[in-house]
Amino acid sequence: MLLNPVISKLAGKRVVLASASPRRQDILSNVGLRFEVVPSWFKETLEKSLFSAPQEYAVETAKQKALEVARRMHMKHRKTPDIVIGADTIVTLEDAILEKPLDKQDAYNMLSRLSGKEHSVFTGVAIVHCKSEKDNQLDTDIVDFYEETKVKFAVLSEDLLWEYIDSGEPMDKAGGYGIQSLGGMLVESVHGDFLNVVGFPLNHFCKKLAEIYYPPSKQSIHRVKHDSIPYVESFENLSDVEKDCSSSKNSDIKKARKDCGNNSCSSGPSLQPTTIIQNGVEKKSENTIQFPSKIIELLDGFKASKTLFAASKLKVFDKLKDKGALKAMDIADKINASVHGTERLLDACVALGLLEKTHQVYSNTELANTFLVSDAEFSVHGYIIHSNDHLWSHYTHLESAVVEGINYHHKAHGQTAEHVHGPEVKERYMRAMHCTLKITARDVATAFDLSKYSTACDLGGCTGALAHELSWIYPEMKVKVFDLPEVIKNVTQFQPEKSDSTRIIFTSGNFLDDALPKADLYILSRVLHDLLEDKLHHLLRKVSEACSPGNSALLIAEIVLDEEKREPRALLQSLSMSGGKQRSGTEYKQLLESHGFNRVQIKNTGNLLDAILAVKR
């Protein structure tokens, strides 16, 4: 009944669903909504750490999906839609977002974490209204919101877990399950909108459409007076609103957004008059602006980073892993710090979701045990320490670096090259590169089918983290790691226990100066973005000359910017003024083609690094 007036309002409009999900299509089709399906090409590369809550990430992703379709249809298809609907559903456990499983083992790990626990399913939805202006510019008006549903899993047995995994259903599902199919047998209870878990919050969507197209009339708003606080405007029951609104004509969307008046309607600042009471007389105050939460979040961002750095430097997460749970005074004793300071640091870590606190006792979250404990398999501890001890200082004089266009850190501190590249710094850098490649190697190695290449050479391959992943995925491939002598002599401590020295060989050399080893596949990981133009072209010429036409290729692992260059992580990294530059997919393609490579493929991995495969013609 709620959607009926809205359906008639949408009759004759071009409504587009920016999703290929059959589940979302079914939900909307079943209530009579007529729409086209145009899957979005938006690369889901938003940096999750920049969002204060998972639902904000889902909403922004939904918005970008819808906007990409709207712009593409307007510019390329010459078919400007009236309305584009974007949606993104995520599964979170303890504020950590669970992606789609990479393989069966990943699905098992994911579902095991959910076993016996309650988790949240968020769906962000964006409704984009489009209009083509006289100068062919696209004007868009966006309303967005999210819905949360709590889902609790039963305690799952090993047999049930593997039976479900072997069905193949988990592999294309966020969180590793589909509640509407076999995955329903894993669920003990659902609190909230069931369809939200399936993939689209229909009830909330209907209410939002009603707010947009049928804003309440003045007669349906009554004022409640309280002592010393402003009047509160409240809506009567919805059925009355529908009756009132069914006769309204051509309601303005932007007015509806103002009437909506809550955070779910719009993400931008808005000026609105505020009603106040003085001596029993109602008055309108001057316009007030919406609280700039995004700016405040950025303003305080460095404090959160430094909290993570300090806790990692003091090995807080290591101490808690060893002992399980400790009071502040016990942790202070173990890290040789004041109780007062330690308690503040621990509470800040709890607020950031890195620790848990129960009855004044602190313990690691699963996130901390997996990534922050220094000896964990996928620990990023080394990169955190490198960020604290080295990268942090590069941004201390950022304004001066921008003015002069140089790396101001060395100038400000008067450091010599020997000090900057001393043994301790080199080892710290190796640890940082090792831990980041450990968590990205699988996605880079599987981005393309590399089985046709029997030999590979990882130029600047450091500790061999990517080489080991390649050798594990491609049993017939032999990989040579080619790096500086001082790097190669220190790689032993980074090797896994069962390392196959016959298939992974470490060779010392300088890829800029020395002849390159022969290989079918050359690899450059986190190299190109850091090189000055002359060295960059010199290296690519060498690689191109070493490749056999038609039989050799170059695999690159870098952050690939979107075409509008809005990927924040890469752009923020570029402010270190290293001398190189970050590039978009088009720029990488042009660069590689200029050196004789063609059939350039680019794969967004959703991880720290994207992958590019270029074949020599």
Active-site amino acid positions:
88
Cβ-based burial of 255 (10 A; exposed 0-12, middle 13-18, buried ≥19) = exposed
Cα separations (Å) of 184 from 181, 241, 495?
6, 37, 42
Return d(Cα 606, Cα 43) in angstroms, integer: 8
Q: Tell me if 401 sits within 8 A of 345, measured CB to CB.
A: no
Return d(Cα 617, Cα 553) in angstroms, integer: 9
Q: Tell me if 586 sits within 8 A of 536, measured CB to CB.
A: no
Q: Tell me if 610 sits within 8 A of 558, measured CB to CB.
A: yes
Burial 307-327 (b: 16+ CB within 10 A, else e): bbbbbbebbbbbbbbeeeebb
Q: Tell me if 504 sits within 8 A of 535, measured CB to CB.
A: no
Long-range contacts of 132-136 (CB under 8 A, 24+ apart): 132/74, 132/80
Return d(Cα 385, Cα 79) in angstroms, integer: 51
Reading the block at residue 544, the tokens are 């191109």
> Looking up tokens 């980074």, which residue turns up?
494
Residues paired with 134 in a beta bridge: none
Reading the block at residue 271, the tokens are 């000026």
Name the DSSP class of 389: I
Cβ-based burial of 157 (10 A; exposed 0-12, middle 13-18, buried ≥19) = exposed
The amino acid present at 207, given as its one-letter code, is K
Gyration radius of the chain's alpha carbons: 28
Q: Tell me if 123 sits within 8 A of 97, measured CB to CB.
A: no
Report phi then psi at 418, rounded to 5: -65, -40
Q: Tell me if 408 sits within 8 A of 349, measured CB to CB.
A: no
